[in-house]
Amino acid sequence: MTETVEAFTARAESWIRSNLPSYEDPEIEGEDLQRQLFDAGFGAIAFPEEYGGSGLTLEHHKAFYDAAYAFNRQIPMSGLVSVRMLGPTILDHGSHEAKSKFLPALLRADTEWIQLLSEPQGGSDMAGASTRLTRDGDTYVLNGAKMWSTGAYRADYGLCLCRSDWDAPKHRGLSMIAVPFKTRGVTIEQTRTADGELGEFCQEFFDDVVLPAGNLIGGENNGWAVAQTLLFHERNAVGNVGYGYVGPQGPTLGTTRVGASRSPAQLAAHAARHGKIGAVGAQIAEAYIESIVGPLTAARVMTGMRVGSHKGQWGSLLKLQRSVTKHEALRTTLATLGPEAVIWDGDEVRLDNPGTAWLRSRGGTIAGGTSEMQRNIISERLLGLPREPSDDRDIPYNQLVKRQSRTSR
């Protein structure tokens, strides 16, 4: 019989108090924390036991992270992509062999995974992927390039969306395959971002990379369904619901350093001291309202998912809300602090200021699907509005490429 949530919560609270460090203690690496949780039976609470999980439910998962938050204990945040997005995707679509092969190490943070979706020429049209996957007996051969892949330089695997049938329409000729990065033919380059940092975003090149057929996730030419599931879990993770729930504080949308963070109360006090309430008071009030409404909305959706009243792409609503709110809150910080937000003492370049945090926050409105895409999803799949018209969904992809080539001349 499944352990009751109440009994589980009591057991989790006892373990948390005895084992997890507080946020006043020295910071522990996220991978080390995830291994500690996993070995104690709390690292994959809602995953089946046969793949390394505890065989419980998302309600138990939520209870654990609520307890960790209540006791102000550190939790692993670095596994947002691996454990909370790609793990559930492999669980939903992988064969038994693939789940047995990949999930235990992924869930214990012994391997780190990222997603390989965007392409240099693709823009927001993820279904237009042209990275080529060719069957060769018991293996596949991968050729092409991906980009904007967060953390690829330190990851072990990427889950790659690629073109496996060029005669099928673009949504129906895709496959998803697990790519180990320590494989011959894989090259990774780091990208410098607008806030001055090098590394988090990368571009990958695949030159005749040979992969086992067993690395395919979801079956050949079923990659679009797998990608949609991955994006569903990604938006839930960013929205702080489902497998992505990590407590009332939610995950960070890009790191905001301590020196860059200002609460609405701090901004109001600063504006009052400098006679700027009349100019920025409404913006600060809006930032405060969003700081209250956001967690309440997430809690409502999480409860609805648990009881069955909220089905579908609610993660898109929360992802849109959180990314736009963070961007606007930092813009309010810039308006309130003025020059103080973008200058520092000394000659050394510092990134712990609201100016670079604002630059970084723009990534939250792009990563995981742009805000424009989220609004389309919300309008079509939550509100039931008609799709935007499109004439390319049933055209074979090779013909579509030829048509695009003629148009661009």
118 neighbors 146 (Cβ within 8 angstroms)? yes
Retrieve residue 126's tokens. Answer: 């993820």
Burial class (CB in 10 A: 0-12, 13-18, 19+), 136: exposed
The percent helix, strand, coil of the chain (3-state, each to 5) is 50, 15, 35
157 neighbors 179 (Cβ within 8 angstroms)? yes
Quick one: CA dihedral 19, 23, 28, 33, positive or negative? positive
Q: Which of 77, 79, 76 lies closest to 87 in space, CA to CA? A: 79
Cα dist from 59 to 5, 126, 408, whole Å: 7, 33, 52
223 neighbors 175 (Cβ within 8 angstroms)? yes
Active site residue 348: no
User: What residues are paired with 114 via a beta bridge?
Assistant: 158
User: 3, 234, 286, 388: which one is catalytic?
Assistant: 234
Active site residues: 234
